[in-house]
Amino acid sequence: MTGRGYLAYVAAAALALPGMAHADAAADFAAHCASCHGEGRLGGTGPALIPETLGRVKGLDQVIAHGRPATQMAGFGDVLSAEQITGLVDFIKAPVAQIPDWDAARIEASREMAADYAPAPAPVFKADPMNITLVVETGDHHVSVLDGDTFDVLDRFATPYAVHGGPKFSPDGRYVFIMSRDGWVQKYDIWSLREVGRVRAGLNSRNIAMSHDGQWLAVANYLPQTLTILSTATLEPVKVIEVEARDGTPSRVSAVYQAPQRKSFILALKDAPEIWEVATDPEAGPFYDGYVHTFEKGGTEAFGAQEGLFARRRIRTEEPLDDFFFDPDYKNLIGTNREGTKGVVINLISGGKVAELPLPGMPHLGSGITWDRNGHKVMATPHLDEGVLSVIDMTDWSLVKQIRTNGPGFFLRSHETSPHVWADVFFGPHKDEVHIIDKQTLEIVATLNPAPGKTVAHTEFTRDGRYALVSIWEDDGAVVVYDAKTLKEVRRLPMKKPSGKYNVWNKITFSDGTSH
Ligand code: DHE
């Protein structure tokens, strides 16, 4: 059976739940929830709704009635009675009949390589291959490949369903890997303008990370609770790591990122207070910094088969981390728990906590950026449930300023050549605005409104920082190209609900103005 066929079978099996109340709830689920969360509750654009992944979610009835701030989850309080909502809560807390065992064999069976793909010896276009910008169009699940100088669309290809998070480029910028929430990872050759292949690395996935040397791609999964490591050359699964805390608690992975200087992947467990480091160099391993202690002595413990490549190390934290970020040399991790009011700074060498930060209001560190200000490196992060950006001094971890915005925003972007941070106002009545913030004074110096009444989000710069591209996040949307100095619109490219945009050069050079 192919990966897709197997899932259809599982989805049908998963619906087979006993009892009349369940029958009503199952009908409500099918009518109101299945389109996003999957018929078998195993996830789609929304997360899987099964006990294994609902672990830490509190107040499910409130979430169903009122929605979830800063997500696509809408409230159903006006279409469902309190009784129906209680029925749905019981329904999604009940185990599904069968959760597929998405192991290495099944992952491998899902792998589909394009039979007619042959790598071009050189780029098949005249554009600067380092100034290509990819635009994810979530309206019809495509990516447009833009020439970053002329803004011509060089190719437009279909992606898996519901791409989320930043695509990850090979270190030479030639290949890009794109992940969808339902676990598919697609490999695309930018020089040849061709898909290379795709594989289903998980059933409900969070994000992906490229190893420092471009050989391995880590896929953080919610379902199953694993970290899948793929060969970037062939997309074959080379290791599927069960994610279990030290006390045996299985856990989803909040996210995984590469730490290039440390030659490792760093991930946080969503359901247990642990950070993991996985070596991506056989010489590195978790021991290379000489600070591996037991939990009692320090914050760190090595575990698993210490085989060099993919050797693991745990760092204990006080709370599970939902979101995290790094300083530019990857010595420290800044993490938050979305239910908490503070952030923590964990030193990745010692594994110990070095500071606490005041960060209320659901900071979204996944979209944080850094820049230089008065000789200090600062980082900024939007908050998902209030109109605030926090700016933190990364030298002494003090709060420099909370910048008030016209509503909660999702994404920040800047560029080495730009004096500004571009911050969208994704939620609320000002969702059509983008603030332009001076990186030195930390004041809002302009507010753009490219399409009144429509959601505007996510900025990306061209390689040289001359232009800034902003998405009109609507089905009949557009990418608006601004002159980054004059803040005047220069082009408007029609696109279908464009979301993130990713410039090859800015991403592979870890430009200061972009998130990981
Ligand atoms: Fe995202 C990146 C988490 C909802 C669009 N989002 C990320 C990353 C994380 C994250 C950890 C960084 C991963 C990476 O790039 O490797 N996102 C979360 C959530 O926890 C949250 C709030 C709830 C959820 O549904 O998971 C969430 N995100 C959304 C959306 O609703 C958005 C707006 C629409 C969508 O596509 O689902 C959305 N997230 C994005 C985008 C990026 C992203 C476009 C990449 C930004 C970048 O510039 O790199």
User: What percent of the chain stands above pLDDT 90?
Assistant: 68
What is the whole-number distance in angstroms between the Cα of residue 268 and the centre of ligand 1?
16
Angle CA 364–365–371, to nearest 5? 125
- In this prediction, residue 56 carries a pLDDT of 58
Q: For residue range 452-496, what is the model confidence (pLDDT) as tens digits?
A: 999 999 999 999 999 999 999 999 999 999 999 999 999 999 999
Is it the case that residue 146 has pLDDT exceeding 60?
Answer: yes
Of 363 and 127, the one with more pLDDT: 127
Q: For residue range 178-205, what is the model confidence (pLDDT) as tens digits?
A: 999 889 999 999 999 999 999 999 998 9
Of 72 and 384, the one with more pLDDT: 384
Question: Could you tell me the residue ranges of all domains in the chain?
Answer: 3-93, 102-128+151-272+274-316
Rg from Cα positions in the chain: 22
Q: How many CA atoms lie within 13 A of 292 on its CB side?
A: 17
Helix (H, G, I), strand (E, B) or coil at 478: strand
Output the residue whose Cα is nearest ligand 1's atom 19: 71
Encode 418-434: b = buried (16+ Cβ within 10 Å), e = exposed: bbbbbbbbbbeebbbbb
- In this prediction, residue 351 carries a pLDDT of 85
- Report whether residue 500 contacts ligand 1, using a CB cutoff of 6 Å: yes
Instruction: Return the structure tokens found at 193.
Output: 């303008």
CATH of 102-128+151-272+274-316, one of 3.30.70.3270, 2.140.10.20, 3.10.100.10, 1.10.3720.10: 2.140.10.20
Is it the case that residue 12 has pLDDT exceeding 80?
Answer: no
Of 214 and 515, the one with more pLDDT: 214
User: What percent of the chain stands above pLDDT 70?
Assistant: 90
Q: How far is CA 12 from CA 33, 39, 209, 283, in A?
A: 16, 8, 32, 47
Least confidently predicted of 40-44, 410-414, 427-431: 40-44
Neighbouring-strand partners of residue 188 = 176, 195
Q: What is the CATH number of domain 3-93?
A: 1.10.760.10
Residue 162 to residue 45: CA distance in whole angstroms: 6
Q: For residue range 261-274, what is the model confidence (pLDDT) as tens digits?
A: 889 999 999 999 99
Mean of pLDDT over the chain: 88
DSSP annotation of 95 reads: P
Q: Which residues contact 146 (CB under 8 A, 6 or more apart)?
A: 132, 133, 134, 135, 152, 153, 154, 479, 493
**Euclidean distance between the first and the last CA atom of the chain, given in angstroms as a whole number:** 37
What is the whole-number distance in angstroms between the Cα of residue 154 and the centre of ligand 1?
26
- In this prediction, residue 286 carries a pLDDT of 52
- CA pseudo-torsion sign 290, 294, 297, 298: positive
Pocket test for ligand 1, best of 56, 134, 161, 164 (most atoms within 8 A of CB): 164
Helix (H, G, I), strand (E, B) or coil at 365: helix
- Report whether residue 53 contacts ligand 1, using a CB cutoff of 6 Å: no
When pLDDT is cut at 50, 70 and 90, the band that residue 109 belongs to is: very high
- Report whether residue 414 contacts ligand 1, using a CB cutoff of 6 Å: no
Residue range 212-230: mean pLDDT, rounded = 96
- In this prediction, residue 6 carries a pLDDT of 35
| Contact (Cβ atoms closer than 8 angstroms) between residue 507 and residue 176 | no
This prediction has a pTM of 0.88
- In this prediction, residue 124 carries a pLDDT of 98
Helix (H) or strand (E) holding 86, with range, is: helix 82-93
Helix (H) or strand (E) holding 457, with range, is: strand 456-461
Other CB atoms closer than 10 Å to residue 233's CB: what's the count?
13
